[in-house]
Homo-oligomer: A and B are copies of this chain.
């Protein structure tokens, strides 16, 4: 399951670049409308990289795969597979309200799917399991959906608030925390 998920994430992160269509003309001016597309691509690249990273480490703690973990995982991959589409739509429309809100919706659904997957793994492996200890109170996991919802609502006022919030959540996850360290040490044991 780990290899399949890693494969799907590697493909999603890579085919996303196909949404940046090669422009006609060879001047600087044709590159200008590509700037928001490139920005949205960069944002999604960071998100997918974070998901891959966290997912990969979480999977390392799974000792026995059951049917519910398997489908919770596919549920997560489903929402992540829609990231290239919403990235392209948001970028092409220069962060217009509705595409920017839909982008947040997909991030929200992916966050919920990740939470479900995590809960299932902890349930199957026990409260004292490596993952349960690594997650701890899971502050980041709880704040992220709240920030997504605020971001989605803010698109009606100004989409740059939403864009900044998406970036903020991404940066929040980029800052290393104890989780991965604990999992790594757990592996060494």
Residues of A within 8 A of B (CB): 3-4, 6-15, 17-20, 22-28, 31, 42, 45, 49, 52-53, 56, 67, 70-71, 74, 77-78, 81-82, 84-85, 88-89, 92-93, 96-99, 102, 174, 176, 180
A176 vs B68: C-alpha distance when bound (angstroms) = 9
Asked if A78 and B26 sit within 8 Å, CB to CB, the answer is no
Asked if A45 and B81 sit within 8 Å, CB to CB, the answer is yes
A96 vs B23: C-alpha distance when bound (angstroms) = 13
Nearest B residue to A94 via CB reads B26
Chain A at the B interface: SS class: helix
Residues of B within 8 A of A7 (CB): 6-7, 10-11
A96 vs B24: C-alpha distance when bound (angstroms) = 12
5 smallest CB-CB distances across A and B, nearest first, come from A26-B96, A7-B10, A26-B93, A22-B88, A11-B14
